[in-house]
Structure 1
Amino acid sequence: MSFEESVEKVKDLKQTPSDQDLLELYAYFKQASVGDCTTAKPGFLDFKGKAKWEAWNSKKGVGNEEAKAKYVELVNKLIEQHGLKG
């Protein structure tokens, strides 16, 4: 499955993945599509923004192709765990 197919398939999961899995998906997606995080860290009270920033920043240095491969791998794992709608 390609990266682009995985991006579409993840929307069809029967259940919402855990917060940790969602953060991993976000981080690998951003790393694959944008590259290293260069934005300022969100403020102390922006808990969601801070968690997303920290997840993405933790992937700093991971190459584009590796990030895409890790994203696809995680989506496949989530499909096995949760199944797809329809």
Structure 2
Amino acid sequence: MNLNTIEEAVALTQKFTSRPTNEELLKLYGLYKQATEGDNEGERPGGFDFKAAAKFNAWLTQKGKSKEVATQEYIQLVAALAVKHL
């Protein structure tokens, strides 16, 4: 699969015919946020918002990665997931 941009990769995820696992989705989220916004500098969600906390943590695991590296890893992950979910 030849994906050149993050936009192409995002468009491909919208064509998946099956849903990736929660772990895969969180990794996609973390890499996407790192690629588009850089390091997570936000406040950790509080209370019982487990979904927001999981997303926050997924992004935090990518901290320190350059936007370029995160973009390439995101594109590679989408290409790998496409084999299972298209």
The interval holding the TM-score normalised by the smaller chain is over 0.9
TM-score by length of 2: 0.93
CA distance in 1, matches of 2:14, 2:6: 13
Superposed counterparts of 1:3-82, under 5 Å: 3-82=6-85
Please provide the CA RMSD for this pair.
0.7
1:8-60: CA deviation from partner (whole Å, max 9, x where unpaired) = 11011010100000000100000000000000100131100000000001100
Q: Secondary structure at the match of 1:12?
A: coil
Q: Which runs of 5+ in 1 are unaligned?
A: none
The alignment-based identity, stated in percent, is 37
CA distance in 2, matches of 1:50, 1:3: 24
Q: Would the aligned equivalents of 1:44 and 1:50 in 2 still touch at CA under 8 Å?
A: no
Q: Secondary structure at the match of 2:14?
A: helix
Total equivalences in the alignment: 83
Q: Which runs of 5+ in 2 are unaligned?
A: none
TM-score by length of 1: 0.93
CA distance in 2, matches of 1:47, 1:4: 28
- Runs of 4+ with deviation above 2 angstroms: none
Q: Residue 74 of structure 1: CA displacement?
A: 0.6
Q: Residue 3 of structure 1: CA displacement?
A: 1.5
